[in-house]
Structure 1
């Protein structure tokens, strides 16, 4: 059988203080699959400038790390330009929903736009053309984490997620998870929503061969149980609820939450309690591993070829031109959103889930725009052979933080700053044959 060439191009789009990544997978003749990771910026003009740099036909899957404005504010603009078939995001359980609401509340009460989203988040997405919504449960704890096994034969039993009624049975990817809830209709069948377990993966196949060729592994890190317990005690009688559950919050819970946050006095009390779990920016956030499936032939990698906006002079790693095809690691890319990879429990679970894949990573997006409090040296050391990327507006005082730059310098790490400057985008191109 004749081998077929497979090409993936991944680019971090320059949108300033925010996040917008586009990955396109093609064979020798056509585009097979397009995905995005996050879609927003604190500056609308910066995002629209980045969006104009994209030539998109359709987004098969949009992964949303979390629902902060700088990661989702561009969804409206993106949906107005291209069709978004599926959105994958962390499960809107009671804890996650409360965190979103508290952060969105201004100095007084909850904004009407946020109330509208929280009242019907899935309807909000379907109204923007999304056909399918997948919620991934946050991890429970480190003990239950299953390391992703690169060898398909070594994977634990998992369920293939069925295509929902009315969906495209010929779509070029397969979703697997250890727990799959039944799909529920949204907007009278205009869309569906389904909840999957924490150990979820997506395999993209080459047309006509049904051979898994590209791997996407989303992972929502666990939240410290001691922080959840402290928050629950602080809320007390004002809002009696267990926040330990990982399933979708009920409509009754959402209604009560909005009532509390719509009253100024109650809003202030709940936000004061929320500071217990938010003071270290330890937010629920989805990370995404994206890379070739194992054992690919003729793997070749190329990268952006300019050192742009270097935060410190040397040492640095040579960036090879796109015309020079080389092999460095394994052609993979990891996005982290605002994951707190400094907190021990979160970090341990994250490293355990991605542990066998880290040697393949060529590009690593530093969490929380290069905050010094969001990453531990253990993670930096494990990914030190990767290109470190920070996504932040130019001139920000703590993004990237000077202390983090010093730590990266001590490990002789390579760093690239993707800002709002159109020339600062970073591209990784990976080709191989199957």
Structure 2
């Protein structure tokens, strides 16, 4: 009566996770978390094959953050698949500028990245998305008043399913600059406070999607916009719409030469911080009424586990920084009621020692620990993470056999 399949796809160093829900007599629901890989050409071939096998629309696309290895496949995905709703972390212009320089310093000069940084709303809506929702974490010195209204989410779709977002997203106030004048501000919404719950239900069954992003703490990015403007000779007109507009493309032009890249790297080295601090996590779990039978199974390389009696959860973390005890505590508080039910935990930043520790693993004692990495990588997952994980660790590489898949079925037990 109710089936869900979660898949961490074999795309190597990057991330592509999909979920598919089927309700007997009520249709299907699909979502994805991140869409990128360092091996872009091979990944695009993989996406093309995936789209042929999975022709249904994506109801939700969650982008953890805008690093190239998490977004490089977005153009390919959205050219082959209808994407209805997109959720991304909100970044102000200083954080976007840091992200741009960070990727340039790593030689990731990708057109998709520049388009995203220039105008994230325009990027997704011009590629067919119905709306873009920003999830914003508060910080003491950040700008206020970027949202207004409080219109409720559309609660019922053509399939008869009810979708509720709590707290309700608000419309982003009309931007001063919009590259595509056909894109209405109504396409952009925002949820304040760092986390929300998206619940989908039909009859006595449903799905809960719970994204979280850490509150971004202040760090030394105050002069970054002016430093870039001085270098590239561009004028930046600030806007309450996220993105860098024409400044991003001026940076791209400047980065075409070795001297230009060297100048941009010198600015990058003057500033500290990480775009990973804004990276989304996403928990996905079914819910059913009492008296319904439940069974789940998880398949990983060389191991298969299953169980019954309670609904499982999958928890993605993108590149979230969860090494600091305070940041881990905030993350734990958000997911405190679900951690014991997590059966698959995607370790942050490919299992990097700099993003997580044994403390994170202990919070999900029943989970397989998933690291999506390049085959043969000596850097990821980190040594400390490997030691702490032991036989719970499953590395998803670009080899098809490394895929991790979890299935769930709810049925009438009478």
TM-score category (smaller protein): 0.7 to 0.9
What residue number does 1:177 align with? 167
- Identify the match of residue 24 of structure 2 among 18, 25, 28: 28
Asked if the contact 1:16/1:47 (under 8 Å) is kept, the reply is no
After TM superposition, the score normalised by the length of structure 2 is: 0.80
**C-alpha distance in 2 between matches for 1:414 and 1:373:** 20
Alignment map for 1:320-331 (pairs within 5 Å): 320=305, 326-327=307-308, 330-331=311-312
Asked if the contact 2:299/2:405 (under 8 Å) is kept, the reply is no
Asked if the contact 1:93/1:248 (under 8 Å) is kept, the reply is no
Alignment map for 1:43-58 (pairs within 5 Å): 43=39, 44-49=41-46, 52-53=49-50, 54-58=53-57
Give the match's secondary structure for 1:129. Answer: coil
* Residue-pair matches, total: 379
Q: How far did residue 35 of structure 1 move?
A: 0.3
Give the match's secondary structure for 1:14. Answer: coil
What residue number does 1:15 align with? 11
1:155-196 deviation per Cα after TM superposition (whole angstroms, max 9, x unaligned): xxxx773339xx979664222216623576975257711111
**C-alpha distance in 1 between matches for 2:377 and 2:108:** 28
Alignment map for 1:26-425 (pairs within 5 Å): 26-43=22-39, 44-49=41-46, 52-53=49-50, 54-106=53-105, 114-140=113-139, 161-163=152-154, 172-177=162-167, 180-182=170-172, 187-189=181-183, 192-197=187-192, 198-206=194-202, 209=203, 213-225=206-218, 228=219, 230-232=220-222, 235=224, 238=227, 249-250=240-241, 264=260, 267-274=264-271, 276-278=272-274, 282-293=276-287, 296-305=290-299, 307-308=301-302, 319-320=304-305, 326-327=307-308, 330-409=311-390, 414-425=392-403
1:281-308 deviation per Cα after TM superposition (whole angstroms, max 9, x unaligned): 7442000010023765435333344534
Closer/same/farther in 2, CA of residues 103 and 390 from structure 1, 3 Å limit? same
Asked if the contact 1:340/1:367 (under 8 Å) is kept, the reply is yes
**C-alpha distance in 1 between matches for 2:352 and 2:316:** 15
**C-alpha distance in 2 between matches for 1:102 and 1:170:** 45
Asked if the contact 1:8/1:431 (under 8 Å) is kept, the reply is yes
Give the match's secondary structure for 2:335. Answer: helix
Give the match's secondary structure for 2:410. Answer: strand
Give the match's secondary structure for 2:375. Answer: coil
Asked if the contact 2:153/2:169 (under 8 Å) is kept, the reply is no
Asked if the contact 2:345/2:367 (under 8 Å) is kept, the reply is yes
1:64-97 deviation per Cα after TM superposition (whole angstroms, max 9, x unaligned): 0011111111111111221111111101323431
Give the match's secondary structure for 2:134. Answer: strand
Closer/same/farther in 2, CA of residues 49 and 353 from structure 1, 3 Å limit? same
After TM superposition, the score normalised by the length of structure 1 is: 0.76
Closer/same/farther in 2, CA of residues 266 and 170 from structure 1, 3 Å limit? farther
Asked if the contact 1:37/1:64 (under 8 Å) is kept, the reply is yes
Unmatched 5+ residue regions in structure 2?
A: 141-149, 230-237, 255-259
Closer/same/farther in 2, CA of residues 99 and 425 from structure 1, 3 Å limit? same
RMSD: 3.4
What residue number does 1:314 align with? none
**C-alpha distance in 1 between matches for 2:392 and 2:292:** 26
What residue number does 1:153 align with? none
Closer/same/farther in 2, CA of residues 15 and 98 from structure 1, 3 Å limit? same
Unmatched 5+ residue regions in structure 1?
A: 142-158, 241-246, 309-317
Closer/same/farther in 2, CA of residues 182 and 256 from structure 1, 3 Å limit? closer
**C-alpha distance in 2 between matches for 1:331 and 1:160:** 32
Asked if the contact 1:126/1:187 (under 8 Å) is kept, the reply is no
**C-alpha distance in 2 between matches for 1:346 and 1:112:** 32
Q: How far did residue 319 of structure 1 move?
A: 2.1
Asked if the contact 1:38/1:63 (under 8 Å) is kept, the reply is yes
**C-alpha distance in 2 between matches for 1:51 and 1:221:** 33
1:172-226 deviation per Cα after TM superposition (whole angstroms, max 9, x unaligned): 42222166235769752577111111232100111xx3x561100111112333x
Asked if the contact 2:5/2:405 (under 8 Å) is kept, the reply is yes
Q: How far did residue 109 of structure 1 move?
A: 11
**C-alpha distance in 1 between matches for 2:12 and 2:181:** 34
